[in-house]
């Protein structure tokens, strides 16, 4: 399987630059506040059963409305998609749950390129629900509601997105 998710939502990045003289001090703290955000992710994987898939992927997210600052997240994740209602058949078999875990970075930089928040090698967990009810040949499409959280000693980034996912399923 291979897939893509695109979405829009709300996110925030808060934290410190990765500088020991600034971590933990109010003068080094930056908070974007809740801002509109976009999400893009791609992944590849395999289905171990019709109701359980495992894959790896990359996600990117940018925040809008941060003035002259630039705020973004980039991460790599292991992901599991499961379809717990698959045995019920019909439209229920297309309802799924997504769980992610991985590493990433969240950054906020000013116009000069100085890092206001630098959360390199931060942990990421995420999850969501989706429905893949639209089928076209070997592809399935549908909406997804997804949220994730990134954290490290220097950064925190919660987010929630409403998006669209498209997946290509093939047999070996």
Domains of the chain (ranges; CATH) run 2-165 (2.40.160.20)
Q: Strands 155-168 and 139-151, how do they pair?
A: antiparallel
* Paired tokens of 117: 């928040």
Number of Cβ within 10 Å of residue 153's Cβ equals 11
The string over 41-76, giving b where at least 16 C-beta atoms fall within 10 Å of a residue's C-beta and e elsewhere, is bebebebeeeeebebebebebbbeebeebebbbebe
Q: Give dist(CA 15, CA 63) in Å, integer.
A: 15
pLDDT of 172 > 90? The answer is no
Percent of the chain predicted with pLDDT > 70: 99
Please give the average per-residue pLDDT across 77-100, as a whole number: 94
- pLDDT at res. 67: 84
Which pLDDT tens digit goes with each residue over 91-146? Answer: 899 999 999 999 999 999 999 989 999 998 999 999 999 999 999 999 999 999 99
* Residue 66 pLDDT class (50, 70, 90 cuts): confident
pLDDT at 171: 81
- Higher-pLDDT residue of 68 and 29 is 29
pLDDT at 19: 87
- pLDDT computed for residue 147 by the predictor: 97
């Amino acid at each position: 399987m291979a897939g893509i998710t695109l979405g829009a939502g709300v996110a925030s990045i808060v934290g410190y630059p990765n500088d020991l003289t600034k971590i933990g001090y109010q003068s080094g703290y930056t908070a974007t506040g809740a801002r509109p955000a976009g999400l893009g992710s791609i992944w590849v994987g395999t289905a171990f059963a019709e109701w359980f898939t495992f894959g790896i992927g990359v996600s990117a997210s940018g925040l809008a409305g941060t003035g002259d600052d630039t705020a973004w997240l980039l991460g790599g994740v292991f992901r599991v998609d499961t379809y717990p209602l698959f045995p019920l058949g019909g439209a229920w078999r297309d309802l799924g749950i997504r769980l992610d875990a991985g590493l990433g970075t969240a950054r906020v930089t000013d116009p000069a390129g100085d890092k206001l928040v630098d959360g390199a090698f931060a942990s990421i967990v995420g999850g969501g629900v989706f429905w893949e009810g639209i089928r076209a040949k070997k592809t399935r499409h549908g909406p997804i509601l997804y949220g994730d959280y990134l954290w490290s000693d220097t950064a925190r980034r919660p987010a929630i997105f409403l998006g669209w996912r498209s997946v290509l399923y093939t047999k070996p």
